[in-house]
């Protein structure tokens, strides 16, 4: 059961979460930061409910919204013509 993947984007398993919490005696927030759980491509939209439930069980702490979901712009903005493969004039 510990091999169940909780965060698909970052491939974080239940075992990873449990081991990190035990090894470092850390809070729910610290587990998220150490394992990057909920910080992948989806920003926690897919795994957040399961992650919060698991962290509450493992750490005994109710995870809050201290790591809010956010949208990040691309590293280097590009025009639609570049994406479409057209040359810029």
pTM of the model: 0.65
Helix %, strand %, coil % for the chain, to 5? 40, 5, 55
Contact 8, 38 (CB under 8 A): no
Question: Per-residue pLDDT tens for 16-72?
Answer: 999 998 999 888 888 888 999 888 888 888 888 888 888 888 888 876 666 554 555
């Amino acid at each position: 059961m510990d091999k169940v993947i909780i965060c698909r984007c970052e491939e974080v398993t239940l075992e990873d979460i449990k081991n990190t919490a035990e090894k470092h005696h850390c809070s729910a927030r610290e587990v998220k930061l150490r394992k990057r759980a909920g910080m992948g491509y989806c920003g926690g939209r897919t795994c957040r409910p399961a992650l919060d439930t698991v962290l509450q069980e493992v750490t005994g702490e109710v995870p809050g919204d201290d790591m809010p979901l956010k949208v990040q712009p691309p590293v280097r903005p590009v025009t639609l013509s570049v994406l479409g493969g057209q040359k810029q004039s």
